[in-house]
Amino acid sequence: CNAYLIVDGNHRILMDPGSTVHHFPQVKRRVEQIVPPESITHIVVHHQDADLCDSLPSWLELAPELTIVTTPRVRVLLPYFGFSPDVKWLDVSPEDSTTLDLAGGSLVFITSPFLHFPEAFVTYDEASGILFSSDIGAAIENDWKLVITDWESHWRTMIPFHVFYMASNKALNGFLKKLEPFPISAICPQHGSIIPEEHVDKAIENLAKLPCGLDLLYPASNIESVLAEIL
């Protein structure tokens, strides 16, 4: 799991901080190298999978005043990890109008319906052009590198993850269309290597063509092509 920290003025924003058992001690140690963990102001939770956020109670213990940034449908589920819902929240609108204004530029929160949770979302950092994409663009690799070097071999590790987790090609394309206004300098996913600028266009192009999820489970009927041949 990749957790990311943005430090900008008084804002200290942690994204998808990981699980308690598997990640919390290490993520806390890495945060400590940059800022005191007690000073975290926001935690962005892109969806509610335990691997990316069941450490929320531990972070809230350290920094009870922090704000959790997430969508309403994720918000109702998060307290089941073991904390009171009576904490600070910033609700991410399904209209993609929610931003967090930082000194260097805003964070823009963009929903990614059914990729893979119904109200999942991603974060775009205007200052750096980085897209924090959660499970979109993720890969399960045996040979992890921080930044990918060879696109073709990396793409092969992205395919199985997207085929099994993402709802459909329609869902992927709808989301990718929403990204068009944003110049992307890198894609930082929650699993696998960072996709640098030189491979961003290729990643988007390949994802746009990938059949996945329901496309493969319930392939479309070929009735139209059969009729076209008969008539």
How do 67-70 and 130-134 pair as beta strands? unpaired
Positions in 135-174 near Fe ion (CB under 5 A)? 135
Work out whether 119 is an interface residue with Fe ion (CB under 5 A). no
Q: Which residue is nearest to Fe ion (CB)?
A: 49
Question: How many residues of this chain interact with Fe ion, rule: CB under 5 A?
Answer: 3
Work out whether 16 is an interface residue with Fe ion (CB under 5 A). no
Q: Write the Ramachandran bin of 192: left for phi over 0, alpha for psi from -120 to 50, otherwise beta.
A: left
- Looking at 46-54, 57-65, 105-113, 194-202, which segment touches Fe ion (CB under 5 A)? 46-54
- Looking at 45-53, 80-88, 143-151, 180-188, which segment touches Fe ion (CB under 5 A)? 45-53
Q: In the complex, what is the shortest distance from the CB of residue 134 to Fe ion, in angstroms, rounded to a whole number?
A: 7
Burial 45-54 (b: 16+ CB within 10 A, else e): bbbbbeebbb
CB 104 within 8 A of CB 8: yes
Q: In the complex, what is the shortest distance from the CB of residue 48 to Fe ion, in angstroms, rounded to a whole number?
A: 8
- Looking at 98-106, 155-163, 186-194, 204-212, which segment touches Fe ion (CB under 5 A)? 186-194
Q: In the complex, what is the shortest distance from the CB of residue 51 to Fe ion, in angstroms, rounded to a whole number?
A: 6
For 94, other C-beta atoms within 10 Å of its C-beta total 15
C-beta of 41 vs 71, nearer to Fe ion: 71
- Looking at 68-76, 107-115, 168-176, 189-197, which segment touches Fe ion (CB under 5 A)? 189-197
Tell me whether the omega of the peptide bond preceding residue 46 falls within 30 degrees of 0, making it cis.
Answer: no
Torsion sign (Cα): 206, 212, 216, 222: negative
Work out whether 54 is an interface residue with Fe ion (CB under 5 A). no
Q: In the complex, what is the shortest distance from the CB of residue 100 to Fe ion, in angstroms, rounded to a whole number?
A: 22
Q: In whole angstroms, what is the distance from residue 75 CA to residue 69 CA?
A: 9
CB 60 within 8 A of CB 24: no
Among 2, 19, 70, 190, binds Fe ion (CB under 5 A): 190
Phi, psi at residue 93, to the nearest 5°? -75, 140
Q: In the complex, what is the shortest distance from the CB of residue 65 to Fe ion, in angstroms, rounded to a whole number?
A: 27
Work out whether 41 is an interface residue with Fe ion (CB under 5 A). no
Work out whether 125 is an interface residue with Fe ion (CB under 5 A). no
Work out whether 112 is an interface residue with Fe ion (CB under 5 A). no
Please name the residue that has the structure tokens 């869902």.
171
Please name the residue that has the structure tokens 């696109």.
151
Please name the residue that has the structure tokens 């890969």.
139
Contact residues toward Fe ion (CB under 5 A) are 49, 135, 190
